Chains A and B, each alone.
Chain A
Amino acid sequence: MEEKIAELVAEIAALKAANATGNTVAAETYYYLTIPLMVLIHVGFLGYEMGASRAKNVLASGIKNILAFAFMLPTFYYFGWWTYWAFPTGFDFGVGPNEISGLAYAAAVANPITEVMGPHLGDNASGVFVGAFTLFACATASIMSGSVIERIRLVPFVVLAIILGSFAWVVAAAWGWHADGWLVQKWGYHDFGASGVVHMISGFFALGVLIPLGARIGKFNADGTANHISGHNMPMAMIGLMMIIVGFWGFLMACLIYPGEAWSWSATEFTNIYGTPMTLSALTFNLLMAISGGIIGAWMTTRDPFWMMSAGLGGIIATAAGLDVFWPPMTFAIAFVACAFIMPASAKFIEKMGIDDAVGAVTVHGVLGAVGLLGVGIFAAGIPSTTAEGAAQISFIGQLIGTIVMALIGFVPGLLFASIFKAMGILRVSEKVERDGLDISEVPAVAYPAE
């Protein structure tokens, strides 16, 4: 009898171990698969940015986009991941209530000269987490990249992309996209799908760069009226935008925390990054509604295929912060209104201000990102921001404060560093290069050979 019991106990232990191994491998695979899906975002940005460029600049725009992606990968490894864990409580590098933040914690989990940042048979998570976050970082750089095409110089652009992608947005993520973040703990800030910490920051960083950079030659007339500068390949831009939407399935998938691991918030259910429960089904319901609401809304008011496809993305951005908690038809309505009315009004206003945003990134990511944050404050007020007892509740004031913080973290460094590069005389290509085309001046290849 005792032997039988011992056998059963051993069998149960073996089953438990097998189950734990299965869960660990499934979790690792889950995040691993988000990475190639998010690379599709960059396939999309590449196509859309090149399509929105004139033929004389198409390869220079492509190179710029590819380099933003490539430089983000090592720089996020060097200091981006560390920044995320060091900064949640602010610039004091303190330890938050969940004790997963601060200098000592960052040194333990994200120090690039220790074994935690390399192959390790006891760690199936760090590499795929760093990978997913790095791809978020690449998205921020690509958002800014489209705005500044056809006149920015390559190296200052890459430096700006590194400042945005491997530092500025990471500080914002530490503050508002981390359970120990001071915006979350103190103000109940909620931003499930990164309306603020990725999109709004990037849109406002782009705005900060665009002001000192100035408009493309021929964009504005002497009386201040604007001319439309058509890209050379609208179908390429449209397919690119659709590809970004495909990639966003991976982006949002990576915003969930897989259950059952030592680092998970829950043993049994998916949670968001703050630890509150959710499901992939909830995300699917809302994501589909957001895409459709945005496209249909923009079709109704603009008829413009470029803006319609931008609105597929815009619908996601305008609801991303609440995609975990919204009722799906509500998501549709918010995305519809944001893309039918706010998006075209914002684009017109920015143009009227004399700012040449070549692809509308300030509007689609910056302004609609703010809509996403404030929408949560209006529609989801009262929800506890974390599962901890006495957690701050989501509120309009908290979301408004978060919106202001996100705008500033994006705009100020963008304006500051772009102004420094302008003062150094290295921000913009010469007038001759701009008129001749960047490809013929800088690229040892031809996009469309005549023969």
Chain B
Amino acid sequence: MGASFETWDAVKDAAYYVGAGSEAIWLAISIILCVVALVIGHSHESKANKK
């Protein structure tokens, strides 16, 4: 984690976000969080409907 650049001149007209090199990992984490939320939400709704 942390910055992949040390000066602002180094990213002139280029990407400058932190997390460079781990874009796919963060994308995967965010997708997993969405899926987990949906699964838990479904489970909650199913239980609520059975009551």
Q: Is the CB of A325 within 8 A of B17?
A: yes
Contact residues of A between 321 and 372, Cβ < 8 Å to B = 322, 325-327, 329-330, 332-333, 336
Q: Is the CB of B19 within 8 A of A327?
A: yes
Minimum distance in angstroms from B40 CB to a CB of chain A: 5
Q: Which B residues are CB-close (under 8 A) to A293?
A: 30, 33
Known: A303-B44, A326-B17, A380-B18. A297 touches B2 (CB 8 A): no
Q: Is the CB of B44 within 8 A of A329?
A: no
Minimum distance in angstroms from A444 CB to a CB of chain B: 45
8 Å CB contact of B33 from A296, A381, A383:
A296
Q: Which B residues are CB-close (under 8 A) to A379?
A: 1-2, 18-19
The reply to whether the CB of A20 lies closer than 8 angstroms to some CB of chain B is no
Q: Which A residues are CB-close (under 8 A) to B40?
A: 300
Minimum distance in angstroms from A39 CB to a CB of chain B: 32
Minimum distance in angstroms from A288 CB to a CB of chain B: 12
Interface string of A405-417 (1 = CB under 8 A from B): 0000000000000
Contact residues of A between 370 and 387, Cβ < 8 Å to B = 378-384, 387
Interface string of B39-51 (1 = CB under 8 A from A): 0110010000000
The reply to whether the CB of A299 lies closer than 8 angstroms to some CB of chain B is yes
**Max chain B CB contacts within 10 Å: which of A277, A378, A381, A383?**
A383
CA distance A383 to B4 in the complex (A): 8
Minimum distance in angstroms from A197 CB to a CB of chain B: 21
Known: A299-B41, A329-B26. A382 touches B16 (CB 8 A): no
How many residues from A make CB contacts under 8 Å with B? 29
The reply to whether the CB of A399 lies closer than 8 angstroms to some CB of chain B is no
Minimum distance in angstroms from B30 CB to a CB of chain A: 4
The reply to whether the CB of A15 lies closer than 8 angstroms to some CB of chain B is no
Query: Which partner residue on chain A sits nearest B11 by CB separation?
Result: A277
Query: Which partner residue on chain B sits nearest A289 by CB separation?
Result: B30
Minimum distance in angstroms from A296 CB to a CB of chain B: 5
The reply to whether the CB of A282 lies closer than 8 angstroms to some CB of chain B is yes
8 Å CB contact of A384 from B6, B23, B29:
B6
Q: Is the CB of A329 within 8 A of B27?
A: yes
Query: Which partner residue on chain B sits nearest A378 by CB separation?
Result: B1
Q: Is the CB of B37 within 8 A of A333?
A: no
Minimum distance in angstroms from A4 CB to a CB of chain B: 36
The reply to whether the CB of A276 lies closer than 8 angstroms to some CB of chain B is yes
Q: Which A residues are CB-close (under 8 A) to B37?
A: 296-297, 299-300, 336
Q: Is the CB of A326 within 8 A of B18?
A: yes
Q: Which A residues are CB-close (under 8 A) to B11?
A: 277
Minimum distance in angstroms from A409 CB to a CB of chain B: 27
Report A's interface with B, CB cutoff 8 A.
276-277, 282, 289, 293, 296-297, 299-300, 303, 322, 325-327, 329-330, 332-333, 336, 378-384, 387, 393-394
22 contacts between A and B (CB under 8 A): A282-B17, A293-B30, A297-B33, A300-B36, A325-B16, A325-B17, A326-B18, A327-B18, A327-B23, A330-B30, A333-B29, A336-B30, A378-B1, A379-B19, A380-B3, A380-B18, A381-B3, A382-B3, A382-B6, A383-B3, A383-B18, A393-B3
Please provide the 7 A-B residue pairs with the shortest distance between their CB atoms, ordered closest to farther: A327-B19, A382-B3, A329-B30, A329-B26, A300-B37, A383-B3, A332-B30
